Amino acid sequence: MNQPPEAHVASGVAIRVGRVHYLIKRLIEFGDPMTSTPEMPESPSDQTRRALIDAAIALFGQEGFRGTSTRAIAQKAGTNVASIAYHFGGKEGLRVACGTAIAERLARVVGKTDLPEVETPEQALHLLEGVIAAFAHYLLLEQGEADIVAFIMREMAEDGPAIREVYATTMEPRHRAFCRLWEVATGWPAESDRTRLTVFAVIGQALYFRIGQTVVQQRMGWERLDEETVRQITEVLIANLRAIVAANRRQP
How far CA 138 is from CA of 110, 183, 206, 235, in Å, comes to 9, 25, 10, 15
Average pLDDT, the chain: 83
Neighbours of 80 (CB within 10 A): 12
Q: What is the DSSP string of 28-77?
A: HHTS-GGGTSPPPPPPHHHHHHHHHHHHHHHHHHHH-STT--HHHHHHHH
Mean pLDDT confidence for 199-226: 94
Which DSSP letter does residue 205 get? H
Whole-number pLDDT of residue 190 = 96
CA distance 206 to 128: 13
Whole-number pLDDT of residue 109 = 65
Mean pLDDT confidence for 105-111: 70
The burial class, CB within 10 Å (0-12 / 13-18 / 19+), for 238 is buried
Instruction: Give me the torsion for CA of 249, 167, 127, 200, rounded to 10°.
Output: -30
Neighbours of 151 (CB within 10 A): 28
Report whether 88 contacts 148 (CB < 8 A): no
Where do the H-state alpha helices sit in the chain?
Answer: 5-13, 17-29, 44-63, 70-77, 82-88, 91-110, 121-141, 145-158, 161-166, 172-186, 193-211, 213-220, 227-248
Cα–chain-centroid distance for residue 169? 14
Going by pLDDT thresholds of 50, 70 and 90, the confidence category of residue 251 is low
CA distance 21 to 169: 27
Whole-number pLDDT of residue 112 = 55
Whole-number pLDDT of residue 105 = 82
Mean pLDDT confidence for 83-93: 96
Residue 169 pLDDT > 60: yes
Percentage of the chain with pLDDT > 70? 79
Whole-number pLDDT of residue 37 = 45
List pLDDT tens digits, range 62-85.
999 999 999 999 999 999 999 999
Residue 182 pLDDT > 60: yes
Whole-number pLDDT of residue 171 = 87
pTM metric for this prediction: 0.73
Residue 34 pLDDT > 90: no
So where are the chain's domains?
A: 14-33+42-248
- Which CATH code is given to the segment(s) 14-33+42-248? 1.10.357.10
Whole-number pLDDT of residue 113 = 54
**Across 31-40, 47-56, 134-143, 241-250, least confident range:** 31-40
Please state whether 224 falls in left (phi above 0), alpha (psi between -120 and 50) or beta. beta
> For residue 82, which amino acid is it?
A
